[in-house]
Structure 1
Amino acid sequence: MKALLLVDESQDKIAIRDIEKPSPKSGEVLIQIKAAALNHRDQWCRIGMYPNIKYDTVLGSDGAGIVSELGEGVASDWLHKEVIVNPNINWGSDEAAQSAEYHILGMPTNGTFAEYVIVNVDRLMEKPAHLDFNEAAALPLGGLTAYRAVFSKGQISKGQKVLVTGIGGGVAQFAFQSALAAGADVFVTSGSEEKITLATDLGASGGFVYKEENWAKEALKSTGGFDVIIDSAGGNAMNDYLRLIKPGGRLVHYGSTSGVPKNIDMFRLFWSQASIHGSSMGSDLEFKEMVKFVSLNKIKPIISSVRNFDQIVSAFDEIHAGKQMGKLVVSF
């Protein structure tokens, strides 16, 4: 079967290879992948900026497909079902945080950028009926990370004012859509006016270009501040967020693409009674809740592009450039 591997001998560090089709063991299923989607972690693995790098691993955490073969002990009614894959491996029993053995499908465990993938049957959920395979493939990792950030950590509810930063990213788009579905008044930031326009067309109340020097001052003047800020950048923007957060508000960070801040305005932090929450991925329970929420609210992932699997290297280059609005999907 064809698969995209992380390789050491290629200048691209990724390559499509023919590898042996796996067979499911006890408790496992074989899924024929119909579509898969990229995440920034795939590119970080490619450039060596991810822990526990293991070459000759099939990358990919997001996938949707059809169960084509069952291992021993798996209920027969799973056969031929259309499914999505929960990319969590060994989250553990603590809802508050993942276990020490936790990792994500696609590194170091073989992932979804292949014609077939093996997973334990408890990683399966039926594909939401309102989504096609391309849309469903875009959901798992980003949808789960956003759900935890928005609801478990951000505790967003109807009528609250919310800021979602970096709206072009996969998690940010799900956070935006989830907050909207919860009845919040949602604003966004981006480095691109075009992406802000797209977000407002989809329901955002407004947006701010973070590259502009006084964007935070403008945001505060026009909105009065935010109850919750959902962010993946970190960096020196932290103090902008502290200026924008309402008293008792919550800053939720699920990434740090801009690195660490040079300093934090501690006076503003404690005087505002604000709280800062770290968030990453989500538990198996939250995955089930996320899929139910998406199905109930008929949320459809924003897809930037769909291309054939044999063009997947170009999708990696696109996600590295950061120009996409929504998820990059490959189909088989």
Structure 2
Amino acid sequence: MRAIVHEAKNGFEGLKVQEVEKPRLGDKDVIVKVHTAGMNRRDIAVVTKRHKAEDPALIPGSDAAGVIEAVGESVTKFQTGEEVVINPGLGWQEKSDAPPKGFEIVGLPDHGTFGEYYKCTEDHVEKKPSHLNFEEAGVLSLAALTAYRALVTRGQVKAGETVMLPGIGSGVLTFALKFAKAKGARVIVTSRSDEKLKEALSLGADRAINTNSNWNEELLDETVDLLIESIGEATFEKSLHIIRKGGTIVTFGATTNDEVKINIREFFYGQYNLLGTTMGSAEEFREMLSFLEEHKIKPQLDQLFKLEEYREAFEYLQETKNFGKIGFKLQD
């Protein structure tokens, strides 16, 4: 089969498309013929950090949708021909405060989804939402699950609350925008791009401001209850100063520096809540898929690339040119 493979070189130079052996079916496995495989910023992190000579060749990728081509003898949940999406989380079945020991994400350390076929156990696939085509479903899983846990499980968003999403444009935050609106919340977004601000408003954002502006001056008339922070050092202090006293910040990423400074006295006097989150359980994955179907929510699909356009796709995402999700289309 054809796949994007990363060899033990630092960065994009280790990537190439090549023929690799098709996965072998195990007793409890399903083999999915991949139609579309979504990209995430995690894929950039994976290929830029793997540079040791002993690192084996790896097929990256965490998201995919396709058709089950084969099932093992002990598989009971699925049959050949069913349309499915891949759950990118491995080893986290039930909703809990944090992932269990041994939790992994598809695409490292084992092979991921950027190939024509993907193998996993039947517990790590779910039926494709009926209102989504393969292109939409293929770019769905990691970003939507991350947004759902951050906003719903951890943030406990409620109708009538005001949610702020700094740095709108990523797959996770475009899902968070749509989920928050479906929950009846008011949504404020920020971006350095006027075009992305306009796109966010067209998707239902109630207010859009420049990330580099003075948020407190711009939002004097707003009360921010919940803020989803994914930028890190560049915006964290501004996020802490804009949230209402007793409000909540949920953080799942750091596209700028990881380390931030907090005035701890100001923090505890403000009665703030700071929550971390990452990905989500299989239980939350199923909840999220049901929520999508109930509200007929679709991913914000930016564009799809051919496998041979891997370098262009990785650079496009690295430079944050996307508004929403991108991915690879493997089948016509």
TM range (shorter): over 0.9
Shift of 1:96: 1.0
Report the equivalent of 1:154: 155
| Aligned-partner Cα distance in 2 for 1:76–1:219 | 52
* CA distances 1:117-162 after superposition (whole Å, capped 9, x unpaired): 1010111111001101010011100010000000111110111000
Report the equivalent of 2:68: 67
Q: Give me the TM-score of the superposition, normalised by structure 1.
A: 0.94
Where 2:156 maps in the other structure, the secondary structure is coil
Runs of 4+ more than 6 Å apart: none
Shift of 1:265: 2.4
Change (3 A) 1:329 1:262: closer
* CA distances 1:249-301 after superposition (whole Å, capped 9, x unpaired): 10000012222455212233212211000000011111110111011111000
Change (3 A) 1:255 1:320: same
Contact 2:94–2:283, Cα closer than 8 Å, also in 1 = no
Shift of 1:75: 2.7
Residue 324 (structure 2) pairs with residue 317 (structure 1) = no
Alignment of 1:11-160 (within 5 A): 12-48=13-49, 54-75=55-76, 77-91=78-92, 95-160=96-161
Question: Which amino acid counterpart does residue 264 of structure 1 have in structure 2?
Answer: I
| Aligned-partner Cα distance in 1 for 2:83–2:64 | 11
Question: Which amino acid counterpart does residue 184 of structure 2 have in structure 1?
Answer: G
Contact 1:242–1:268, Cα closer than 8 Å, also in 2 = no
* CA distances 1:59-108 after superposition (whole Å, capped 9, x unpaired): 00000000001112113852100000101111265611112211100111
* CA distances 1:207-263 after superposition (whole Å, capped 9, x unpaired): 121123x2x12343142x300000111215222112111121100000122224552
- Long gaps (5+) in structure 1: none
Shift of 1:49: 7.4
Question: Which amino acid counterpart does residue 315 of structure 2 have in structure 1?
Answer: D
* CA distances 1:153-173 after superposition (whole Å, capped 9, x unpaired): 111011100001211111111
Contact 2:9–2:50, Cα closer than 8 Å, also in 1 = no
Contact 2:190–2:208, Cα closer than 8 Å, also in 1 = yes
Report the equivalent of 1:3: 3
Change (3 A) 1:30 1:246: same
Contact 2:95–2:282, Cα closer than 8 Å, also in 1 = no
Question: Which amino acid counterpart does residue 4 of structure 2 have in structure 1?
Answer: L
Change (3 A) 1:76 1:181: closer
Give the one of 270, 273, 292 matched to 2:271: 273
Residue 216 (structure 2) pairs with residue 217 (structure 1) = yes
| Aligned-partner Cα distance in 1 for 2:318–2:101 | 29
Q: Give me the TM-score of the superposition, normalised by structure 2.
A: 0.94
Residue 239 (structure 2) pairs with residue 241 (structure 1) = yes
- Long gaps (5+) in structure 2: none
Shift of 1:307: 2.1
Contact 2:95–2:284, Cα closer than 8 Å, also in 1 = no
Where 2:8 maps in the other structure, the secondary structure is coil
Where 1:118 maps in the other structure, the secondary structure is strand
Give the one of 305, 308, 312 matched to 1:307: 305
Shift of 1:5: 1.2
Where 2:246 maps in the other structure, the secondary structure is strand
Query: Could you tell me the percent identity over the aligned residues?
Result: 33
C-alpha root-mean-square deviation of aligned residues, in Å?
1.9
